């Protein structure tokens, strides 16, 4: 089964006029299915309440295939689930072409 990953800078905050952010890399995602306008990927772990901000902060991060190709862009994830929802890059390209 193909594996995917994504990287994002999260938890942005300012401290003494300096932008502080955390780099986050999520490895081992698996594609699950299409859910409405989203592509759903399975995470290795359930999203815990304290991690929920991780997925809010990574909105727009590209999900990358094993071959290094972007396949989708992160939209959101929900506390208590093992899923991350993303917009397909093919769909985005299709709308841009229109």
Tens of pLDDT, residues 3-46: 999 887 766 677 888 887 778 788 999 999 999 989 999 998 88
What does the pLDDT read at residue 3? 95
In sequence order, what DSSP letters do the residues of 32-94 get, joined into one string?
EEEETTEEEEE-SSPPPGGGHHHHHHTTTPEEEETTS-EEEEEEEE-TT-SEEEEEEHHHHHH
Q: For the chain, give the mean pLDDT.
A: 84
What does the pLDDT read at residue 22? 76
Q: What is the pTM of this model?
A: 0.79
Considering Cα of 2, then 79, then 54, then 33, what sign does the dihedral take? positive
Q: Poorest-confidence range of 29-33, 47-51, 64-68, 93-97?
A: 47-51
The number of distinct structural domains making up the chain is 1
What percent of the chain lies above the pLDDT cut of 70?
88
Q: State residue 58 phi and psi, 5-degree precision.
A: -100, 10
Give the range of the structural domain holding residue 38, as residue numbers without chain letter: 4-97
**CATH assignment at residue 28:** 2.40.10
């Amino acid at each position: 089964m193909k594996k995917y990953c994504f990287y994002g800078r999260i938890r942005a905050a300012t401290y003494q006029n300096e932008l502080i952010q955390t780099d986050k890399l999520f490895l081992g995602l698996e594609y699950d299915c299409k859910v409405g306008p989203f592509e759903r990927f399975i995470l290795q772990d359930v999203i815990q309440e304290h991690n929920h901000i991780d997925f809010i902060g990574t909105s727009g991060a590209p999900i990358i295939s094993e071959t290094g190709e972007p396949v989708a862009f992160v939209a959101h994830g929900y506390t208590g689930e093992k899923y991350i929802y993303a917009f397909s890059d093919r769909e985005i390209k299709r709308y841009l072409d229109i």
